[in-house]
């Protein structure tokens, strides 16, 4: 069902993992997709072709979401190329995991810059076109770690908790202009990053999850489609957990 037909989505960090799964499903549901990547132009071009096969317009942009000027330039270019931005998905994120006593200032600052400041950068940049259209859906990719914390991830947890506060504040500010802002808090999602973990670690995660499996990028993407579409037109300021019951 093409429930996103006629809409344009901008997704940060979509060349792999959850971001790529979201981009693919949004295209399948009819959305034109603009996405960012940082390093692999080859992967970006392959994704462009794959998304275009769904009959939508798709284009990748090399852009660092954590740099305000690049975010502004990106939105300007996407508006020129697509004519509109109806959906913003702030997905770019990194980890620099270590215990707090070993964490460097650089470890802290890099995670905050990419995971939290990038959401500010892109959200502020899309406000003008969304306010003019009096319509928009902003989706921030948080994490269950931002709700419950996790040893060895003080920087990551703080950045993801910050996204939740940011989401709720933006929802309150922009609701009167018909712009919605929600967050998704994924749990253990099996991607290239988790593929580097040993089997015992992965199994211990699965055993702790009521549904007894890790999630997939498509599990997260399904919620993104809902929040991006008019089906969620009365949903804003919410944090939706996609975690198999991990925090139940």
Spatial distance between the Cα atoms of 170 and 125, rounded to a whole number of angstroms: 13
Spatial distance between the Cα atoms of 185 and 116, rounded to a whole number of angstroms: 14
DSSP string, 208-246: TSTTSS-B-HHHHHHHHHHHHSGGGTT--S-EEEESTTT
CA angle 231, 4, 245 (to 5 degrees): 55
235's tokens: 């949903």
Under a CB-based contact definition with an 8 Å cutoff, are residues 139 and 85 in contact? no
DSSP state of 12: S
Under a CB-based contact definition with an 8 Å cutoff, are residues 89 and 65 in contact? no
CA angle 150, 113, 127 (to 5 degrees): 115
Under a CB-based contact definition with an 8 Å cutoff, are residues 15 and 35 in contact? yes
133's tokens: 């259209």
Catalytic residue among 37, 61, 156, 234: 156
Q: Where are the beta strands (DSSP E) in 73-166?
A: 87-90, 136-141
Residue 61 is among the residues annotated as catalytic for this protein: no
Residues known to be catalytic: 156
């Amino acid at each position: 069902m093409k429930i996103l037909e006629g809409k344009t989505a901008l997704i940060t960090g979509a060349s792999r993992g959850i971001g790529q799964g979201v981009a693919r499903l949004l295209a399948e549901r009819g959305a034109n997709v603009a996405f960012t990547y940082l390093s692999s132009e080859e992967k970006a071009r392959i994704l462009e072709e794959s998304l275009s096969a769904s009959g939508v317009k798709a284009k990748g942009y090399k852009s660092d979401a954590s740099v305000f000027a690049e975010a502004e330039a990106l939105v300007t270019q996407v508006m020129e190329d697509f004519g509109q931005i109806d959906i913003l998905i702030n997905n770019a994120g990194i980890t620099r995991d270590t215990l707090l006593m070993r964490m460097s200032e650089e470890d802290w600052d890099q995670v905050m810059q990419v995971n939290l400041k990038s959401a500010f950068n892109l959200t502020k940049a899309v406000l003008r076109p969304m306010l003019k259209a009096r319509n928009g859906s902003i989706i921030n990719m948080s994490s269950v770690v931002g709700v419950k914390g996790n040893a060895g991830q003080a920087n990551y947890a703080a950045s993801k908790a910050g996204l939740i506060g940011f989401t709720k504040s933006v929802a309150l500010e922009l609701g009167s202009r018909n712009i919605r802002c929600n967050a998704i808090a994924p749990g253990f999602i099996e991607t290239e990053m988790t593929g580097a973990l040993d089997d015992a670690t992965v199994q211990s995660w699965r055993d702790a999850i009521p549904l007894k499996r890790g999630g997939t990028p498509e599990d997260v993407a399904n919620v993104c489609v809902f929040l991006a579409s008019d089906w969620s037109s009365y949903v804003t300021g919410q944090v939706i957990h996609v975690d198999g019951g991990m925090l139940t």
